[in-house]
């Protein structure tokens, strides 16, 4: 059964999910590309297949390091299945890169609960966010949860509030120097800010609309559960509990404010949604039932089977 299998953290779980991503990438990106396959294109796809798997493993590392879920692989199961539901994600390499850098930033943001090496963590997060913005401008919105995390952390001071601006300016100066040396142009700065588009015409495709609706339904359902459960969270855990909600909302705005709506921008919200959904699955064991019963077991089991089966169904849309 899936609940017992992914309720543990075994090496086989990571192998299965890694293979799932590879298969999803091959079916989604390569078969969906109208470009003739060349050795160079195969090399590029190989790099991004590896990157997609590494993003999943990095997310798992963040979850474990910051105890965002219990010891299980529910979150990366949700993340992997949601990503494969939308194979258009694998066609947008700039979004994949931006998301990878934002997850690196998320690692530092969530670790600010510990007061050790705070200044270094803040600088790292601001560097990763700004680098992500070079691929997807509206990634800069992630400075909002970073600033919230700085305010919430122990022993916060005004000097630490200035560190994100230092990281931001450092990346800008380095990129400007690179552009001047290589292209002898400052034009990139004027093209950096991307226009906001609310043209969702591509969402009329069933292959985008149906998966996006499923993911949004999961977000609303599990997000409401998280808000309603807030009063039961201990004071020690409440700051990180709320921070994940702020991250999820910021990710939603990052996706909404992009210059083109293809469905690939949904990738930005998958990491926080997956963590919140995993918390939802875990919560049934302690919040609603004194002891395990049949209804609890089958509810979780059916939910997980739906998440696993739907990517295969959507491949035929």
In tens, the pLDDT along 12-33 reads 999 999 999 999 888 877 666 5
Tell me the whole-structure pTM to 2 decimals: 0.92
Q: Which of 118-127, 219-228, 290-299 has the highest mean pLDDT?
A: 118-127
Model confidence at 290, pLDDT cuts 50, 70, 90, reads very low
Model confidence at 291, pLDDT cuts 50, 70, 90, reads very low
| Mean per-residue pLDDT, 307-317 | 82
Q: 273 pLDDT exceeds 90? A: yes
Share of the chain above pLDDT 70, in %: 92
Q: 180 pLDDT exceeds 70? A: yes
Tokens representing 200 are: 């969702």
- What is residue 148's predicted lDDT score, i.e. its pLDDT? 93
Least Cα distance to 152 among 144, 263, 24 occurs for: 144
For every residue of 55-104, DSSP letters joined together read HHHHHHHHHHHTT-S-SSSHHHHHHHHHHHH-GGGGG-HHHHHHHHHHHH
- What is residue 253's predicted lDDT score, i.e. its pLDDT? 95
Model confidence at 113, pLDDT cuts 50, 70, 90, reads confident
| Mean per-residue pLDDT, 223-252 | 86
Q: Which of 76-90, 193-207, 278-292 has the highest mean pLDDT?
A: 76-90
Could you give the residue ranges of the DSSP H alpha helices within the chain? 2-6, 11-25, 39-65, 74-85, 93-110, 118-135, 143-152, 158-183, 187-192, 206-228, 235-256, 267-283, 294-314
Q: 268 pLDDT exceeds 90? A: yes
| Mean per-residue pLDDT, 238-263 | 91
- What is residue 303's predicted lDDT score, i.e. its pLDDT? 86
- What is residue 70's predicted lDDT score, i.e. its pLDDT? 87
Task: Please indicate whether residue 105 or residue 190 has the higher confidence score (pLDDT).
Answer: 105
| Mean per-residue pLDDT, 100-111 | 94
| 301 φ/ψ sector (left φ>0, alpha ψ -120 to 50, else beta) | alpha
Model confidence at 136, pLDDT cuts 50, 70, 90, reads very high
- What is residue 289's predicted lDDT score, i.e. its pLDDT? 45
Least Cα distance to 74 among 5, 1, 6 occurs for: 6
Average pLDDT, the chain: 87
């Amino acid at each position: 059964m899936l609940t017992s299998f992914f309720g543990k953290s075994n090496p086989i779980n990571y192998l299965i999910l890694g293979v799932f991503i590879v298969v999803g990438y091959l079916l989604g990106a390569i078969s969906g590309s109208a470009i003739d396959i060349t050795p160079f294109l195969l090399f590029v796809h190989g790099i991004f297949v590896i990157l997609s798997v590494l993003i999943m493993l990095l997310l798992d590392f963040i979850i474990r390091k910051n105890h965002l879920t219990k010891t299980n692989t529910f979150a990366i199961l949700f993340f992997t299945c949601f990503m494969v539901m939308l194979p258009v994600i694998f066609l947008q390499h700039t979004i994949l890169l931006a998301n990878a850098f934002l997850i690196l930033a998320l690692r530092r943001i969530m670790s600010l609960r510990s007061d050790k090496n705070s200044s270094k963590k803040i600088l790292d997060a601001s560097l990763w966010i700004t680098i992500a913005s070079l691929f997807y401008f509206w990634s800069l919105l992630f400075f909002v949860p970073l600033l919230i995390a700085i305010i919430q952390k122990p022993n916060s001071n005004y000097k630490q509030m200035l560190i994100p601006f230092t990281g931001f300016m450092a990346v800008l100066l380095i990129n400007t120097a690179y552009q001047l040396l290589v292209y002898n142009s400052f034009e990139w700065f004027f093209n950096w800010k991307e226009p906001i588009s609310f043209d969702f015409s591509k969402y009329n495709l069933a292959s985008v609309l149906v998966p996006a609706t499923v993911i949004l339904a999961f977000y609303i359902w599990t997000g409401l559960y998280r808000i309603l459960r807030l009063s039961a969270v201990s004071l020690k855990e409440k700051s990180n509990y709320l921070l994940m909600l702020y991250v999820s909302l910021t990710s939603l705005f990052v996706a909404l404010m992009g210059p083109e709506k293809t469905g690939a921008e949904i990738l930005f919200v998958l990491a926080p949604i997956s963590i919140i959904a995993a918390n939802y699955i875990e919560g049934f064991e302690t919040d609603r039932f004194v002891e395990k019963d049949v209804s609890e077991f089958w509810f979780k089991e059916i939910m997980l089977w739906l998440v696993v089966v739907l990517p295969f169904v959507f491949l035929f849309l």
